[in-house]
Amino acid sequence: MDVFKIEQSIGGGVPSPDKITPEVSFDAGSEFNLSFFDTDSNTQGFSDPGSVGSTSASSPPPLKLTPLPGTSAPSQGLLSPPAVKQEQHYVAADSNSSSTTKSFVPCKVCGDKASGYHYGVTSCEGCKGFFRRSIQKQIEYRCLRDGKCLVIRLNRNRCQYCRFKKCLSVGMSRDSVRYGRVPKRSRERSTEESSRVTTTDADQSDSETKQLAVYDVILTVSQAHHANCGYTEEHTRNLVRKPVVLPPASPADSEVASSTAESMEQERCWLWQQFAANITPSVQRVVEFAKRVPGFCDLGQDDQLILIKIGFFEIWLSHVARLTTNSLMMFDDGTTMTRQQLDIMYDADFISSVLHFASTFNALSLNDTEVGLFSAVVLLTADRNGITDVKSIEHHQDKLIEALKVQVGRNHANEPQLFSSLLIKLPELRNLGAKHSAHLDWFRMNWTKLTLPPLFAEIFDIPKSEDDLQ
Protein backbone atom coordinates (compact mmCIF):
# COMPACT_ATOMS: atom_id res chain seq x y z
CA MET A 1 0.00 0.00 0.00
CA ASP A 2 1.40 3.38 -0.97
CA VAL A 3 1.36 5.64 2.09
CA PHE A 4 0.98 8.70 -0.06
CA LYS A 5 -2.45 7.74 -1.35
CA ILE A 6 -4.32 8.02 1.93
CA GLU A 7 -6.90 10.74 1.43
CA GLN A 8 -7.02 13.69 3.78
CA SER A 9 -10.14 15.14 5.33
CA ILE A 10 -9.62 18.30 3.29
CA GLY A 11 -7.33 19.45 0.56
CA GLY A 12 -7.91 16.57 -1.90
CA GLY A 13 -5.01 14.84 -3.61
CA VAL A 14 -1.57 16.21 -4.20
CA PRO A 15 -1.30 17.93 -7.57
CA SER A 16 0.54 16.17 -10.32
CA PRO A 17 4.02 17.54 -11.06
CA ASP A 18 2.85 19.28 -14.22
CA LYS A 19 0.42 21.36 -12.13
CA ILE A 20 2.96 22.39 -9.54
CA THR A 21 4.02 26.00 -9.84
CA PRO A 22 7.64 25.71 -10.94
CA GLU A 23 10.13 27.32 -8.64
CA VAL A 24 12.69 27.37 -11.41
CA SER A 25 12.71 28.74 -14.90
CA PHE A 26 15.31 27.75 -17.42
CA ASP A 27 15.04 29.71 -20.63
CA ALA A 28 17.24 28.56 -23.46
CA GLY A 29 19.12 31.80 -23.42
CA SER A 30 19.41 32.31 -19.70
CA GLU A 31 22.59 31.90 -17.69
CA PHE A 32 22.51 29.09 -15.15
CA ASN A 33 24.80 28.40 -12.22
CA LEU A 34 22.69 25.96 -10.26
CA SER A 35 20.96 29.00 -8.77
CA PHE A 36 17.68 27.29 -9.55
CA PHE A 37 16.81 26.73 -5.94
CA ASP A 38 15.06 30.05 -5.25
CA THR A 39 11.54 29.69 -3.96
CA ASP A 40 8.62 31.47 -5.51
CA SER A 41 7.45 34.23 -3.23
CA ASN A 42 3.99 34.11 -4.81
CA THR A 43 3.27 30.52 -3.79
CA GLN A 44 -0.25 30.34 -2.40
CA GLY A 45 -1.49 28.05 0.31
CA PHE A 46 -3.71 27.72 3.33
CA SER A 47 -2.87 30.26 5.98
CA ASP A 48 -4.59 28.50 8.84
CA PRO A 49 -2.24 26.64 11.22
CA GLY A 50 -2.24 22.94 10.56
CA SER A 51 -3.83 23.30 7.13
CA VAL A 52 -3.06 20.35 4.87
CA GLY A 53 -2.60 22.50 1.83
CA SER A 54 -0.22 24.98 3.41
CA THR A 55 3.10 25.32 1.68
CA SER A 56 4.78 28.08 3.61
CA ALA A 57 5.92 25.95 6.50
CA SER A 58 6.56 22.73 4.62
CA SER A 59 8.87 24.08 1.98
CA PRO A 60 12.52 23.39 2.76
CA PRO A 61 15.05 26.20 2.54
CA PRO A 62 16.17 27.27 -0.90
CA LEU A 63 19.57 26.13 -2.09
CA LYS A 64 21.54 29.00 -3.55
CA LEU A 65 24.91 28.19 -5.01
CA THR A 66 27.28 30.73 -6.49
CA PRO A 67 30.53 29.78 -8.25
CA LEU A 68 33.90 30.92 -7.01
CA PRO A 69 35.79 33.28 -9.32
CA GLY A 70 37.33 31.26 -12.09
CA THR A 71 35.61 28.00 -11.13
CA SER A 72 32.26 26.31 -11.55
CA ALA A 73 32.12 25.06 -7.97
CA PRO A 74 29.90 26.84 -5.46
CA SER A 75 31.19 28.91 -2.59
CA GLN A 76 28.10 29.90 -0.62
CA GLY A 77 26.05 27.60 1.50
CA LEU A 78 22.37 27.05 1.93
CA LEU A 79 20.14 29.73 3.23
CA SER A 80 19.26 28.97 6.81
CA PRO A 81 15.96 27.13 7.29
CA PRO A 82 13.10 29.39 8.22
CA ALA A 83 12.67 29.52 11.97
CA VAL A 84 9.78 27.47 13.21
CA LYS A 85 7.39 29.70 15.08
CA GLN A 86 6.80 28.64 18.64
CA GLU A 87 3.42 27.05 19.02
CA GLN A 88 0.87 29.11 20.90
CA HIS A 89 -0.75 27.45 23.86
CA TYR A 90 -4.49 27.82 23.86
CA VAL A 91 -6.66 27.57 26.94
CA ALA A 92 -8.85 24.54 26.51
CA ALA A 93 -12.53 25.36 26.36
CA ASP A 94 -15.57 23.17 26.63
CA SER A 95 -17.20 22.85 23.22
CA ASN A 96 -20.58 23.28 24.91
CA SER A 97 -19.64 26.20 27.14
CA SER A 98 -18.08 29.62 26.69
CA SER A 99 -16.22 29.50 30.00
CA THR A 100 -14.10 27.02 31.88
CA THR A 101 -15.18 25.49 35.19
CA LYS A 102 -13.54 23.45 37.90
CA SER A 103 -15.12 20.29 36.51
CA PHE A 104 -13.59 20.80 33.09
CA VAL A 105 -10.89 18.22 32.25
CA PRO A 106 -9.16 18.80 28.89
CA CYS A 107 -8.42 16.15 26.31
CA LYS A 108 -4.67 15.59 26.26
CA VAL A 109 -4.70 15.46 22.46
CA CYS A 110 -6.75 18.47 21.35
CA GLY A 111 -7.77 20.31 24.52
CA ASP A 112 -11.51 19.74 24.13
CA LYS A 113 -13.58 18.54 27.10
CA ALA A 114 -12.53 15.01 28.00
CA SER A 115 -15.23 12.36 28.27
CA GLY A 116 -13.15 9.82 30.14
CA TYR A 117 -10.07 7.64 30.19
CA HIS A 118 -9.64 6.14 26.72
CA TYR A 119 -6.79 3.88 25.52
CA GLY A 120 -4.59 4.94 28.41
CA VAL A 121 -5.18 8.70 28.18
CA THR A 122 -7.77 11.21 29.32
CA SER A 123 -9.36 12.27 26.03
CA CYS A 124 -12.50 13.45 24.29
CA GLU A 125 -14.89 11.30 22.28
CA GLY A 126 -13.59 12.73 19.01
CA CYS A 127 -9.95 11.81 19.60
CA LYS A 128 -10.96 8.48 21.09
CA GLY A 129 -12.87 7.53 17.92
CA PHE A 130 -10.19 8.91 15.63
CA PHE A 131 -7.44 6.87 17.30
CA ARG A 132 -9.55 3.69 17.29
CA ARG A 133 -10.34 4.00 13.56
CA SER A 134 -6.69 4.74 12.73
CA ILE A 135 -5.49 1.58 14.48
CA GLN A 136 -8.29 -0.77 13.43
CA LYS A 137 -8.12 0.25 9.76
CA GLN A 138 -4.31 0.61 9.79
CA ILE A 139 -4.59 4.00 8.12
CA GLU A 140 -1.38 5.77 7.15
CA TYR A 141 -1.55 9.53 6.98
CA ARG A 142 0.66 12.24 5.52
CA CYS A 143 1.45 15.82 6.51
CA LEU A 144 2.37 18.69 4.21
CA ARG A 145 3.89 20.76 7.02
CA ASP A 146 6.78 18.51 8.02
CA GLY A 147 4.79 17.03 10.92
CA LYS A 148 4.63 20.33 12.82
CA CYS A 149 0.93 21.17 12.73
CA LEU A 150 -0.65 22.55 15.90
CA VAL A 151 -3.40 20.20 17.12
CA ILE A 152 -6.23 21.98 18.97
CA ARG A 153 -9.99 21.54 19.09
CA LEU A 154 -10.70 24.07 16.35
CA ASN A 155 -8.44 22.46 13.74
CA ARG A 156 -7.90 18.90 14.93
CA ASN A 157 -9.38 17.50 11.70
CA ARG A 158 -7.09 19.52 9.46
CA CYS A 159 -4.05 17.22 9.65
CA GLN A 160 -4.74 13.62 10.56
CA TYR A 161 -1.06 12.71 10.56
CA CYS A 162 -0.16 15.24 13.27
CA ARG A 163 -3.29 14.34 15.25
CA PHE A 164 -2.37 10.66 15.22
CA LYS A 165 1.21 11.53 16.12
CA LYS A 166 -0.07 13.59 19.06
CA CYS A 167 -2.25 10.68 20.21
CA LEU A 168 0.83 8.46 20.39
CA SER A 169 3.01 11.11 22.01
CA VAL A 170 0.59 11.70 24.89
CA GLY A 171 0.43 7.95 25.58
CA MET A 172 -2.51 6.41 23.72
CA SER A 173 -1.89 2.68 23.44
CA ARG A 174 -2.23 0.71 20.21
CA ASP A 175 -2.65 -2.50 22.23
CA SER A 176 -5.63 -1.03 24.08
CA VAL A 177 -7.42 -0.76 20.75
CA ARG A 178 -6.33 -4.20 19.59
CA TYR A 179 -7.15 -6.11 22.80
CA GLY A 180 -10.12 -4.18 24.19
CA ARG A 181 -10.77 -1.76 27.03
CA VAL A 182 -8.68 -1.77 30.19
CA PRO A 183 -10.61 -2.84 33.34
CA LYS A 184 -11.35 -0.08 35.83
CA ARG A 185 -9.20 -1.71 38.51
CA SER A 186 -6.25 -1.78 36.12
CA ARG A 187 -6.82 1.85 35.23
CA GLU A 188 -6.84 2.84 38.91
CA ARG A 189 -3.68 0.85 39.57
CA SER A 190 -2.07 2.45 36.51
CA THR A 191 -2.93 5.89 37.83
CA GLU A 192 -1.41 5.14 41.23
CA GLU A 193 1.79 3.86 39.66
CA SER A 194 2.11 6.54 36.98
CA SER A 195 4.99 8.17 38.82
CA ARG A 196 7.07 5.00 38.58
CA VAL A 197 8.43 4.21 35.14
CA THR A 198 9.64 0.64 34.80
CA THR A 199 12.43 -0.46 32.50
CA THR A 200 9.92 -2.31 30.33
CA ASP A 201 7.81 0.81 29.91
CA ALA A 202 10.86 2.85 29.01
CA ASP A 203 11.96 0.29 26.43
CA GLN A 204 8.49 0.19 24.92
CA SER A 205 8.35 3.98 24.77
CA ASP A 206 11.77 4.09 23.13
CA SER A 207 10.66 1.49 20.59
CA GLU A 208 7.54 3.46 19.71
CA THR A 209 9.60 6.63 19.34
CA LYS A 210 11.93 4.89 16.89
CA GLN A 211 8.98 3.50 14.94
CA LEU A 212 7.46 6.95 14.76
CA ALA A 213 10.75 8.38 13.49
CA VAL A 214 10.85 5.78 10.70
CA TYR A 215 7.23 6.54 9.91
CA ASP A 216 8.12 10.23 9.64
CA VAL A 217 10.89 9.47 7.15
CA ILE A 218 8.61 7.32 5.00
CA LEU A 219 5.90 9.95 4.84
CA THR A 220 8.27 12.85 4.23
CA VAL A 221 10.08 11.13 1.36
CA SER A 222 6.84 9.81 -0.11
CA GLN A 223 5.39 13.30 -0.15
CA ALA A 224 8.54 14.76 -1.69
CA HIS A 225 8.62 12.09 -4.40
CA HIS A 226 4.99 12.48 -5.42
CA ALA A 227 5.26 16.26 -5.51
CA ASN A 228 8.45 16.31 -7.60
CA CYS A 229 8.47 13.27 -9.86
CA GLY A 230 6.81 13.14 -13.27
CA TYR A 231 7.02 9.35 -13.45
CA THR A 232 4.59 8.36 -10.69
CA GLU A 233 1.75 5.96 -11.45
CA GLU A 234 -0.84 8.72 -11.26
CA HIS A 235 1.01 11.05 -13.59
CA THR A 236 1.84 8.44 -16.24
CA ARG A 237 -1.48 6.61 -16.30
CA ASN A 238 -2.91 8.35 -19.38
CA LEU A 239 0.20 9.33 -21.32
CA VAL A 240 -0.08 9.47 -25.10
CA ARG A 241 2.99 8.39 -27.03
CA LYS A 242 4.75 11.03 -29.12
CA PRO A 243 7.59 9.40 -31.08
CA VAL A 244 10.71 11.43 -31.81
CA VAL A 245 10.93 11.59 -35.60
CA LEU A 246 13.96 12.95 -37.40
CA PRO A 247 13.12 16.05 -39.46
CA PRO A 248 13.46 15.73 -43.23
CA ALA A 249 16.89 16.79 -44.48
CA SER A 250 17.00 20.09 -46.36
CA PRO A 251 19.05 20.51 -49.59
CA ALA A 252 21.55 22.63 -47.64
CA ASP A 253 22.01 19.86 -45.10
CA SER A 254 22.55 17.35 -47.88
CA GLU A 255 25.35 19.46 -49.31
CA VAL A 256 27.02 19.85 -45.92
CA ALA A 257 26.70 16.17 -45.06
CA SER A 258 29.01 14.98 -47.77
CA SER A 259 29.67 11.66 -46.09
CA THR A 260 27.79 9.05 -44.11
CA ALA A 261 29.88 9.86 -41.03
CA GLU A 262 28.89 13.52 -41.15
CA SER A 263 25.26 12.60 -41.67
CA MET A 264 25.37 10.28 -38.63
CA GLU A 265 26.96 13.02 -36.53
CA GLN A 266 24.20 15.46 -37.50
CA GLU A 267 21.59 12.88 -36.55
CA ARG A 268 23.36 12.22 -33.24
CA CYS A 269 23.47 15.93 -32.40
CA TRP A 270 19.77 16.34 -33.20
CA LEU A 271 18.80 13.32 -31.07
CA TRP A 272 20.92 14.55 -28.17
CA GLN A 273 19.17 17.90 -28.27
CA GLN A 274 15.76 16.19 -28.11
CA PHE A 275 16.95 14.00 -25.27
CA ALA A 276 18.36 16.97 -23.34
CA ALA A 277 15.16 18.99 -23.78
CA ASN A 278 13.07 16.14 -22.36
CA ILE A 279 15.31 15.26 -19.42
CA THR A 280 15.94 18.86 -18.29
CA PRO A 281 12.63 19.35 -16.38
CA SER A 282 13.56 16.32 -14.29
CA VAL A 283 16.74 18.09 -13.15
CA GLN A 284 14.64 20.74 -11.45
CA ARG A 285 12.34 18.14 -9.92
CA VAL A 286 15.19 16.05 -8.53
CA VAL A 287 16.66 19.17 -6.94
CA GLU A 288 13.35 20.01 -5.28
CA PHE A 289 13.04 16.38 -4.16
CA ALA A 290 16.55 16.47 -2.68
CA LYS A 291 15.79 19.54 -0.61
CA ARG A 292 12.98 17.63 1.12
CA VAL A 293 14.93 14.44 1.82
CA PRO A 294 15.62 14.26 5.58
CA GLY A 295 19.18 15.28 6.31
CA PHE A 296 20.07 16.68 2.88
CA CYS A 297 19.70 20.35 3.82
CA ASP A 298 21.85 19.80 6.93
CA LEU A 299 24.87 19.11 4.71
CA GLY A 300 27.36 21.65 3.44
CA GLN A 301 26.54 23.31 0.12
CA ASP A 302 29.53 21.75 -1.67
CA ASP A 303 28.47 18.24 -0.65
CA GLN A 304 24.89 18.96 -1.67
CA LEU A 305 25.98 20.02 -5.14
CA ILE A 306 28.18 16.95 -5.58
CA LEU A 307 25.39 14.60 -4.49
CA ILE A 308 22.93 16.14 -6.95
CA LYS A 309 25.26 16.40 -9.93
CA ILE A 310 26.65 12.87 -9.63
CA GLY A 311 23.45 11.23 -8.44
CA PHE A 312 20.99 12.86 -10.83
CA PHE A 313 21.30 10.39 -13.71
CA GLU A 314 21.03 7.39 -11.38
CA ILE A 315 17.91 8.81 -9.72
CA TRP A 316 16.35 9.72 -13.07
CA LEU A 317 17.08 6.25 -14.44
CA SER A 318 15.24 4.64 -11.52
CA HIS A 319 12.26 6.87 -12.37
CA VAL A 320 12.18 6.46 -16.16
CA ALA A 321 12.52 2.68 -15.79
CA ARG A 322 8.75 2.54 -15.27
CA LEU A 323 8.23 3.74 -18.86
CA THR A 324 11.09 1.80 -20.43
CA THR A 325 10.78 -1.46 -22.38
CA ASN A 326 13.23 -3.52 -24.37
CA SER A 327 12.47 -1.45 -27.48
CA LEU A 328 11.91 2.13 -26.32
CA MET A 329 12.17 4.74 -23.56
CA MET A 330 9.33 7.15 -22.78
CA PHE A 331 9.70 10.50 -21.02
CA ASP A 332 7.15 11.87 -18.57
CA ASP A 333 5.34 13.86 -21.28
CA GLY A 334 4.86 10.83 -23.55
CA THR A 335 7.80 11.55 -25.88
CA THR A 336 9.41 8.26 -26.90
CA MET A 337 12.82 7.35 -28.26
CA THR A 338 13.46 3.98 -29.86
CA ARG A 339 16.27 1.65 -28.94
CA GLN A 340 17.91 2.36 -32.30
CA GLN A 341 17.88 6.10 -31.59
CA LEU A 342 19.39 5.56 -28.16
CA ASP A 343 22.08 3.35 -29.73
CA ILE A 344 23.04 6.24 -32.00
CA MET A 345 23.33 8.61 -29.04
CA TYR A 346 25.34 6.25 -26.83
CA ASP A 347 26.33 2.76 -27.99
CA ALA A 348 24.60 -0.60 -28.15
CA ASP A 349 26.36 -2.10 -25.10
CA PHE A 350 25.50 0.81 -22.82
CA ILE A 351 21.86 0.88 -23.93
CA SER A 352 21.60 -2.89 -23.41
CA SER A 353 22.78 -2.39 -19.83
CA VAL A 354 20.30 0.45 -19.28
CA LEU A 355 17.37 -1.57 -20.63
CA HIS A 356 18.41 -4.61 -18.58
CA PHE A 357 18.42 -2.48 -15.42
CA ALA A 358 14.96 -1.12 -16.26
CA SER A 359 13.58 -4.60 -16.87
CA THR A 360 14.92 -6.10 -13.64
CA PHE A 361 14.01 -3.02 -11.60
CA ASN A 362 10.43 -3.13 -12.89
CA ALA A 363 10.26 -6.82 -11.99
CA LEU A 364 10.54 -5.84 -8.29
CA SER A 365 7.07 -4.23 -8.57
CA LEU A 366 7.82 -1.29 -6.30
CA ASN A 367 5.16 1.28 -5.59
CA ASP A 368 5.76 5.03 -5.80
CA THR A 369 6.69 5.43 -2.12
CA GLU A 370 9.28 2.66 -2.39
CA VAL A 371 10.78 4.19 -5.53
CA GLY A 372 10.95 7.52 -3.70
CA LEU A 373 12.77 5.99 -0.73
CA PHE A 374 15.14 4.15 -3.08
CA SER A 375 15.85 7.46 -4.87
CA ALA A 376 16.66 9.11 -1.53
CA VAL A 377 19.09 6.30 -0.69
CA VAL A 378 20.77 6.78 -4.08
CA LEU A 379 21.00 10.52 -3.49
CA LEU A 380 22.73 10.24 -0.11
CA THR A 381 25.68 8.12 -1.25
CA ALA A 382 28.60 9.07 0.96
CA ASP A 383 31.54 7.93 -1.17
CA ARG A 384 30.98 10.21 -4.14
CA ASN A 385 34.18 11.80 -5.37
CA GLY A 386 34.83 15.07 -3.52
CA ILE A 387 32.48 14.52 -0.57
CA THR A 388 33.80 15.87 2.75
CA ASP A 389 31.13 15.11 5.38
CA VAL A 390 31.09 11.37 4.85
CA LYS A 391 29.86 10.41 8.34
CA SER A 392 26.82 12.67 8.25
CA ILE A 393 25.75 11.38 4.84
CA GLU A 394 26.20 7.77 5.95
CA HIS A 395 24.14 8.50 9.07
CA HIS A 396 21.25 9.96 7.07
CA GLN A 397 21.44 7.21 4.44
CA ASP A 398 21.23 4.54 7.16
CA LYS A 399 17.94 6.05 8.33
CA LEU A 400 16.62 6.04 4.76
CA ILE A 401 17.68 2.42 4.24
CA GLU A 402 15.88 1.44 7.45
CA ALA A 403 12.74 3.27 6.28
CA LEU A 404 12.97 1.52 2.90
CA LYS A 405 13.34 -1.85 4.63
CA VAL A 406 10.25 -1.22 6.76
CA GLN A 407 8.19 -0.07 3.78
CA VAL A 408 9.24 -2.97 1.56
CA GLY A 409 8.72 -5.48 4.39
CA ARG A 410 5.22 -4.18 4.98
CA ASN A 411 4.17 -4.22 1.33
CA HIS A 412 6.01 -7.39 0.24
CA ALA A 413 5.74 -9.62 3.31
CA ASN A 414 5.72 -12.73 1.12
CA GLU A 415 8.96 -11.73 -0.64
CA PRO A 416 11.63 -11.65 2.09
CA GLN A 417 14.44 -11.53 -0.48
CA LEU A 418 13.12 -8.41 -2.23
CA PHE A 419 14.89 -5.90 0.00
CA SER A 420 18.26 -7.56 -0.65
CA SER A 421 17.54 -7.62 -4.38
CA LEU A 422 16.78 -3.92 -4.21
CA LEU A 423 20.07 -3.07 -2.47
CA ILE A 424 21.95 -4.98 -5.18
CA LYS A 425 20.59 -2.42 -7.65
CA LEU A 426 22.63 0.35 -6.01
CA PRO A 427 26.07 -0.72 -7.37
CA GLU A 428 24.47 -1.56 -10.73
CA LEU A 429 23.07 1.96 -10.95
CA ARG A 430 26.37 3.46 -9.92
CA ASN A 431 28.17 1.59 -12.69
CA LEU A 432 25.65 2.91 -15.24
CA GLY A 433 26.14 6.44 -13.91
CA ALA A 434 29.91 6.20 -14.37
CA LYS A 435 29.51 4.91 -17.93
CA HIS A 436 27.05 7.69 -18.72
CA SER A 437 29.51 10.30 -17.47
CA ALA A 438 32.18 8.86 -19.76
CA HIS A 439 29.82 9.15 -22.74
CA LEU A 440 29.36 12.83 -21.97
CA ASP A 441 33.02 13.43 -22.80
CA TRP A 442 31.81 13.58 -26.41
CA PHE A 443 29.62 16.51 -25.41
CA ARG A 444 32.49 18.30 -23.78
CA MET A 445 34.52 18.06 -26.96
CA ASN A 446 31.67 18.96 -29.33
CA TRP A 447 29.73 21.50 -27.27
CA THR A 448 29.95 24.12 -30.02
CA LYS A 449 27.89 21.89 -32.34
CA LEU A 450 24.99 21.66 -29.91
CA THR A 451 22.39 23.97 -28.42
CA LEU A 452 21.66 22.50 -25.01
CA PRO A 453 19.43 23.78 -22.19
CA PRO A 454 21.66 25.58 -19.66
CA LEU A 455 20.32 23.40 -16.84
CA PHE A 456 21.28 20.22 -18.68
CA ALA A 457 24.75 21.57 -19.46
CA GLU A 458 25.28 22.62 -15.85
CA ILE A 459 24.21 19.38 -14.21
CA PHE A 460 26.56 17.38 -16.47
CA ASP A 461 29.44 19.92 -16.55
CA ILE A 462 29.20 20.60 -20.28
CA PRO A 463 30.66 23.94 -21.44
CA LYS A 464 28.22 26.60 -22.63
CA SER A 465 30.77 29.26 -23.56
CA GLU A 466 34.49 29.88 -23.82
CA ASP A 467 34.45 31.16 -20.22
CA ASP A 468 33.48 27.69 -19.00
CA LEU A 469 36.71 26.28 -20.45
CA GLN A 470 38.95 28.54 -18.39
Query: Could you tell me the domains of the chain?
Result: 17-48+65-80+215-469 (1.10.565.10), 89-185 (3.30.50.10)
- Helix (H) / strand (E) element for 330: namely strand 328-330
| Amino acid (one-letter) located at 133 | R
**For residue 270, is pLDDT > 50?**
yes
How much is the mean pLDDT over the chain? 76
Return the C-alpha torsion angle 142, 168, 203, 105, nearest 10: 160
Exposed/middle/buried for 140, CB within 10 Å: 0-12, 13-18, 19+? Answer: buried
At residue 150, the pLDDT reads 84
Mean pLDDT of all residues in 175-186: 57
- Which residues have C-beta within 8 Å of that of residue 255, sequence separation ≥ 6? none
Mean pLDDT of all residues in 61-85: 38
Confidence of residue 69 (pLDDT cuts 50, 70, 90): very low
At residue 72, the pLDDT reads 42
**For residue 192, is pLDDT > 90?**
no
The more confident residue out of 177 and 107 is 107
Backbone angles phi, psi at 172, to 5 degrees: -60, 135
The more confident residue out of 393 and 37 is 393
At residue 205, the pLDDT reads 63
Exposed/middle/buried for 59, CB within 10 Å: 0-12, 13-18, 19+? Answer: buried
**For residue 40, is pLDDT > 50?**
no
The more confident residue out of 443 and 381 is 381
Angle at 171 between CA 169 and CA 174, to 5 degrees: 100
Q: Is 378 left (phi over 0), alpha (psi -120 to 50) or beta?
A: alpha
Query: Which of 75-84, 288-297, 384-393, 408-417 has the least mean pLDDT?
Result: 75-84
The more confident residue out of 199 and 364 is 364
Cβ–Cβ under 8 Å, residues 170 and 108: yes
At residue 145, the pLDDT reads 77
| Beta strand pairing call for 121-123 and 116-118 | antiparallel
Q: In 121-230, which residue ranges form alpha helices assigned H by DSSP?
A: 125-136, 160-169, 174-179, 184-192, 199-228
Mean pLDDT of all residues in 105-128: 89
Angle at 247 between CA 241 and CA 250, to 5 degrees: 170
* Identity of the highest mean pLDDT range in 96-100, 177-181, 451-455: 451-455
**For residue 243, is pLDDT > 70?**
yes
User: What percent of the chain clears pLDDT 70, i.e. is strictly above it?
Assistant: 68
